[in-house]
Amino acid sequence: MSSKQAVLQAVIDAWCERQDIDAVLAHMTDDIVWHYSAISQPPKTGKAGAREFLTAFKEKVRNPAWRIFRLAESEDALFVEGADVFETADGRRVEVPYMGILEFEGDLICAWRDYFDRASADGGALPDHARDLTQRPVVLGPRLMQGS
């Protein structure tokens, strides 16, 4: 596992096991630019912006199972394909296939861009033709998901 992959695994563990915002932020630069929904929302900037997003997201999400299926590295970037699976506060199951790009300064994430279907992320039903995109072997993810 590369150092970038290890950082991502630590972020996944912090979020999926404990929803520990401080532990997630510990892996980001102070001036991170995070496009959580790259096309539909402006980015969150700095750790304060990332904290704002994570705090609001934590209120909506239960039992997160963030799974990564494919990884590629190029220079200071880690490209990931995966699925974000969670329950909403009212108990609905949400599955969101996505792609993400994380840029690094040393061992810290300095930029993060996520690309996904906003309707699915907001609790809309995942179309049947997309369901296979969320059910693939995991290379990084919550410790309980390893090897699934």
Domains and CATH numbers, the chain: 3-142 (3.10.450.50)
Note the pLDDT tens digit of each residue in 40-91.
889 999 999 999 999 999 999 999 999 999 999 999 999 999 999 999 988 9
Note the pLDDT tens digit of each residue in 2-49.
899 999 999 999 999 999 999 999 999 999 999 988 778 899 999 999
Contacts 24+ apart (CB under 8 A), 29-32: 29/105, 29/108, 29/109, 29/110, 31/110, 32/109, 32/110, 32/111, 32/112
